Amino acid sequence: MQPTATVLVYSDDSTTREQVRLATGRRPAPDVPVVEILECATPAAVIKELDRGGIDVCVLDGEAVPMGGMGMCRQIKDEIFNCPPVLLLIGRPQDAWLATWSRADAAVTHPVDPVEFASALASLLRRKNFQNV
């Protein structure tokens, strides 16, 4: 049985969540596990799922409403023990400094470029110790 990685995707915009799903595909790179996407549209849902555990990477939309991904990232890095790595979707390349402020582990611009996104996600997934991939 192959291991799977669980990726939490937070955005209030269903189109953004779909772009992430499509860019991820079944697995973002051959050397990482198959990915299961867990979608969240509200900050409360993100916290609930992180408290539940089992999340390998979070993808947060920096433009989400009512709480942007940057603020959400900073909050979960402060409040969630062993917080999983965070990939932040930012509106402009100039916002990279804000991603650093939020303590995101990686950032890519939105709209989602499938190649750039898959590469960044695979890099974060490689940090996990998945066996028999």
- Better-scored residue on pLDDT, 1 or 18: 18
Cβ proximity of 58 and 121 under 8 Å: no
Q: What is the C-alpha R_g of the chain?
A: 13
Res 1: pLDDT? 66
- Is pLDDT of 36 > 60? yes
In percent, how much of the chain has pLDDT > 70? 95
**Mean pLDDT calculated for residue range 31-41:** 97
Q: What are phi and psi of 99, to 5 degrees?
A: -65, -40
Q: Classify 3 as helix, strand or coil.
A: coil
Taking the C-alpha atoms of residue 35 and residue 88, their distance in angstroms, rounded to an integer, is 18
Structure tokens at 105: 């582990």
What confidence tens digit (pLDDT) does each residue in 38-54 have? Answer: 999 999 999 999 999 99
Cβ proximity of 11 and 17 under 8 Å: yes
Of 88, 114, 85, 113, nearest to 11 by C-alpha is 88
Structure tokens at 31: 């050397």
Taking the C-alpha atoms of residue 20 and residue 118, their distance in angstroms, rounded to an integer, is 9
The whole-model pTM stands at: 0.94
